[in-house]
A = this chain, B = another copy of it.
Amino acid sequence: MKGAVIATGGELLQGLIQDTNSSYCNGVLVELGFTPVMNMVVGDDVEDIIRALDLACSKASLVILSGGLGPTEDDVTREALARFCVGVPLEFHQRAWQWIQERLEARKTIPREDHKRQAYFPKGAVLFPNREGTAWGFALSKGGRWIVALPGIPRELKSLMENEVIPFVRGHFPYVGGLQSILLRSFGLKESEVNNLLKDLIRTHPNRLGLMVREYGEIHVRIVGPPPLAEDLAGQVKGLLGDDLYGDGKETLEGVVGRLMRERGLTISTAESCTGGMLAHTITNVPGSSDYFTASFVTYTDDMKHRFLGVPKEVLDRYTAVSKETAHHMVEGLVERTRSDLGISVTGIAGPMGGDQEKPVGLVYIGFHSPQETKVNEYRFFTDRLGVKTMAVKTALDIVRRYLLGL
User: Do A15 and B11 form a contact, CB below 8 Å, given A38-B41, A51-B55, A295-B304?
Assistant: no
A40–B43 touching, CB < 8 Å: no
B contact residues around A283 at 8 Å (CB): 276
Main SS of chain A's interface residues? mixed
User: Do A287 and B385 form a contact, CB below 8 Å, given A277-B281, A278-B277?
Assistant: yes
CB distance from A286 to the nearest CB of B (A): 9
Minimum CB distance partner of A3 in chain B: B13
A125 within 8 A of B: no
B contact residues around A405 at 8 Å (CB): none
A276 to B338, CA, bound (A): 16
Surface stretch bound by B, among A17-25, A167-175, A364-372:
A17-25
User: Do A382 and B107 form a contact, CB below 8 Å, given A48-B37, A284-B300, A290-B300?
Assistant: yes
- Counted per complex, copies of this chain come to 2
A18 to B26, CA, bound (A): 10
24 inter-chain pairs at a CB distance below 8 angstroms, sorted by A residue, are A10-B210, A11-B212, A13-B26, A15-B25, A15-B28, A16-B212, A17-B212, A19-B22, A19-B39, A37-B48, A38-B48, A153-B215, A272-B277, A276-B280, A276-B285, A277-B296, A278-B281, A281-B389, A285-B386, A287-B351, A290-B354, A295-B299, A296-B297, A297-B298
* Seed contacts A38-B40, A289-B300, A307-B337; 6 additional CB < 8 Å A-B pairs: A11-B210, A13-B37, A14-B210, A15-B24, A107-B382, A280-B281
